[in-house]
C-alpha cells in the first residue's frame, strides 16, 4: 500500500479493479449480523450540541479582498517549475534564515510537485465540536437584558481555542494548540418571550502545541465573531454561527514533515462554526471531534470524564 493518503486510495482502487467481476457485484460480499453492545467509538454527550466546523487557508486578491487560497500563494505567479521552486525556497528562507539554503533545497526542493498534484492545502476541511447539555445551558443568562455582556463559559472557550482553532488540519492530522492569549464574550442583543439572541465577540492567539521551538512554530491570531439564537419556547439553540478570522505566521513544525507547507509572512486563515440541526443528516451527530483519533479521550476533550447516565 501507499505511504500517504493519495497513494493509499489509488492503490486500493487498483486492487479493487483487479478483483474478478463476480467479486465486485452488489451482494457478492455477505456480512454477518452486527453484534449487540458498545462499538467502542466515542459518542456525543447526551442532549448536547453538535457544531460543524469548516477550516480553510485563505489568500487575498490584488485589491486586498479575501479569497480561497490557491497554488500561487505558495509557488508564485510563474508556471515554470524551476521558478516555482526558487520562489518557494526563498519564502522558506524568510521564515527560517538560520537554515542553510542547501539544506532547504535538499529537503524541500520537490515541494512544488506536491503543490501541483495534491490540493488538500487549498481545500476546506471539516471538523465537529461537541458541547455538553450543562455547558450549552450555561450560555443562557437567567434574566437576559439587552446590552448585558458576560464571559463565554471557560470550558467551551478552552475547547474552541485548544482543539478547534487548528493550524494543522489543512495539511495533516489535527494537533492540539497551546493557548497564548484570548477571551470570548457574549452580549445580549435581543430578549423577547420567544427568543434570546446573543452576539459573540473575542480574540485568540494560539500556536502549534507540538512544540520543538516555541519561538518558531506556527501561530494563529484571530478575531472571533458570531451569533447564537436560543428558542425559549422550544428550550433549545436554533443557531450557533461563529467565525474565527485572522492570520497565521511563522513555520509549520518541521519534525512532522509539514514545514514545506509554510507560507512566509502573515497569511489569512478562516474557521467557521455552524449548528448541526434537525434538517441535517443524523450521521453528522456521530462524527467525533477531530476524527476521534487515537488521542481522543473524553477527559482530554471535555476536561472531565463523561459520566454515562
Residues making up the chain, counted from first to last: 309
Which residues, other chains included, contact 258 with Cβ-Cβ below 8 Å and sequence gap of 6+? 168, 171, 172, 252
Q: What is the average pLDDT across 105-121?
A: 80
Q: Which of 267, 269, 264 is nearest to 223 (CA)?
A: 269
**Can you give the pLDDT at residue 49?**
95
* Sign of the C-alpha dihedral computed for residues 256, 261, 266 and 272 taken in this order: negative
Q: Counting Cβ atoms within 10 Å, is residue 44 exposed (0-12), middle (13-18) or buried (19+)?
A: buried
**Can you give the pLDDT at residue 304?**
55
- Is 80 exceeded by the pLDDT of residue 216? no
Q: What is the average pLDDT across 7-12?
A: 80
Average pLDDT of the chain is: 85
**Can you give the pLDDT at residue 98?**
81
- Looking from the CA of 10 toward its CB, the CA atoms found within 13 Å total 7
Top-confidence residue, 102 or 235: 235
**173-193 residue pLDDT tens:** 677 888 999 999 999 999 999
Top-confidence residue, 258 or 202: 202
The model carries a pTM of 0.83
Q: Counting Cβ atoms within 10 Å, is residue 184 exposed (0-12), middle (13-18) or buried (19+)?
A: buried
Alpha helices by DSSP H, 44-194: 72-75, 81-95, 101-108, 111-117, 133-137, 154-159
Ramachandran region of residue 147, left (φ > 0), alpha (ψ -120 to 50) or beta?
left
- Residue % of the chain over a pLDDT of 70: 87
Q: Which of 14-18, 53-57, 112-116, 142-146 has the lowest mean pLDDT?
A: 112-116
CB 194 within 8 A of CB 231: yes
Q: Which of 225, 171, 133 is nearest to 56 (CA)?
A: 171
Residue 1 binned pLDDT confidence (cut-offs 50, 70, 90):
very low
Q: What is the average pLDDT across 88-105?
A: 84
- Is 90 exceeded by the pLDDT of residue 153? yes
Residue 68 binned pLDDT confidence (cut-offs 50, 70, 90):
very high
Amino acid at each position: 500500500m501507499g505511504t500517504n493518503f493519495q497513494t493509499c486510495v489509488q492503490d486500493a482502487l487498483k486492487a479493487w479493479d483487479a478483483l474478478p467481476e463476480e467479486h465486485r457485484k452488489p451482494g457478492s460480499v455477505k456480512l454477518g449480523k452486527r453484534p449487540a453492545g458498545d462499538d467502542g467509538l466515542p459518542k456525543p454527550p447526551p442532549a448536547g450540541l453538535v457544531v460543524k466546523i469548516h477550516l480553510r487557508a485563505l489568500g487575498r486578491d490584488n485589491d486586498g479582498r479575501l479569497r480561497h487560497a490557491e497554488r500561487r500563494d505558495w509557488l508564485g505567479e510563474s508556471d515554470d517549475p524551476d521558478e516555482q521552486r526558487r520562489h518557494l525556497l526563498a519564502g522558506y528562507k524568510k521564515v527560517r534564515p538560520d537554515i542553510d539554503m542547501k539544506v532547504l533545497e535538499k529537503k524541500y526542493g520537490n515541494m512544488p510537485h506536491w503543490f501541483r498534484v495534491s490540493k488538500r492545502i487549498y481545500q476546506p476541511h471539516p471538523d465537529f465540536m461537541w458541547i455538553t447539555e450543562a455547558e450549552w445551558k450555561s450560555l443562557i443568562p437567567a434574566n437576559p437584558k439587552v446590552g448585558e455582556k458576560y464571559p463565554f463559559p471557560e470550558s467551551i472557550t478552552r475547547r474552541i481555542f485548544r482543539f478547534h482553532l487548528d493550524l494543522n488540519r489543512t495539511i495533516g492530522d489535527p494537533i492540539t494548540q497551546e493557548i497564548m492569549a484570548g477571551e470570548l464574550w457574549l452580549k445580549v442583543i435581543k430578549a423577547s418571550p420567544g427568543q434570546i439572541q446573543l452576539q459573540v465577540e473575542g480574540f485568540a492567539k494560539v500556536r502549534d502545541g507540538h512544540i520543538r521551538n516555541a519561538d518558531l512554530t506556527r501561530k494563529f491570531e484571530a478575531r472571533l465573531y458570531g451569533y447564537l439564537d436560543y428558542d425559549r419556547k422550544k428550550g433549545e439553540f436554533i443557531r450557533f454561527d461563529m467565525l474565527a478570522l485572522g492570520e497565521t505566521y511563522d513555520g509549520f513544525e518541521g519534525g512532522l514533515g509539514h514545514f514545506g507547507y509554510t507560507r512566509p509572512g502573515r497569511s489569512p486563515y478562516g474557521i467557521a462554526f455552524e449548528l448541526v440541526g434537525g434538517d441535517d443528516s443524523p450521521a453528522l451527530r456521530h462524527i467525533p471531534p477531530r476524527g476521534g483519533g487515537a488521542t481522543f479521550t473524553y477527559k482530554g476533550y471535555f476536561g472531565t470524564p463523561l459520566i454515562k447516565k
